Amino acid sequence: MPLPPAQKSLLVSLSGPSSSGKTTLARLLRDLLPNTFILHEDDFYKPESLLPFRSGHRDWDCPEAIDLPALTNALTYIKSTGKFPPFIDSKEDQNTLGACPASPSHINLAKAIIASSSLHSLLKHAKICILDGFLLYSQAEEFKPILELIDVKLFLLASEEKAVARRKARDGYVTLEGFWKDPEGYVEEVVWPNYVEQHGYLFVDGDVKRGRLDRKVLEREGILAMGGGHGDGHGDEEGFGEVLVWAVGEVVNRLEGVLGGEGGRGENEGE
């Protein structure tokens, strides 16, 4: 089943809490998958002076911090042209990442999954865009136009303890105005509470701390997630490697289904 003539790209979204490994995974997927590039949600922040306050801090981690119409416009451009928007000047690519946490054996397994698929032939006339963002699956009305454009939705997990520790270990972030480093208490008072508020609906009884995903909700929303726990493997070769192999398998399976009418596995199979 070929893409509609007006669609030149397939959109794969990759979301989850801050410091769950999204950008690391996005860059690996870009390097492994054919005809693939990344769009970062972080490149759509509003100017710092327009951000609201939470707990005495400028809040970079809420829906109001993102220029959602501009993000929607960029995604629409990508789907219709198959090209990275020339009007986007990426700041996110200036932020540093640590060493690749996936082992060579997991990377080779991911390569084998792709090599045995039909993606290379199916993507002769289309591109894959990976949308990397901390806040993509919000139930706020403003996110609906974005979600309607996405072909495959992946969700990563991390416990509060791991996410806070990883975030605090970061140097900071390049912004429109220069450079931002989290002030004391920002992660605990702003980042994690925002994540819980926006994603609680994905967990059983809204209990993000316990970490049990609500499979019925995921199926309803078309969101794919690995396992049922917090997935704290990021930063450890074995755990992150398993996440990489899972993500490659899901992307290959779903995109073959979209492009070739194949794919056959049910939502969240094997979990």
**Active site includes 151?**
no
CA distance 243 to 233: 8
Q: Which of 42, 43, 59, 214 is catalytic?
A: 42
* pTM for the full predicted model: 0.88
From first to last of its 271 residues, the chain has per-residue pLDDT tens of: 567 767 889 999 999 998 888 999 999 999 999 999 999 999 999 999 999 999 999 999 999 999 999 999 999 999 999 999 999 987 666 555 667 788 999 999 999 999 999 988 888 878 999 999 999 999 999 999 999 999 999 999 988 998 888 888 876 666 666 667 888 899 999 999 999 999 999 999 999 988 899 999 999 999 999 875 444 333 344 588 999 999 999 999 999 988 875 444 444 443 4
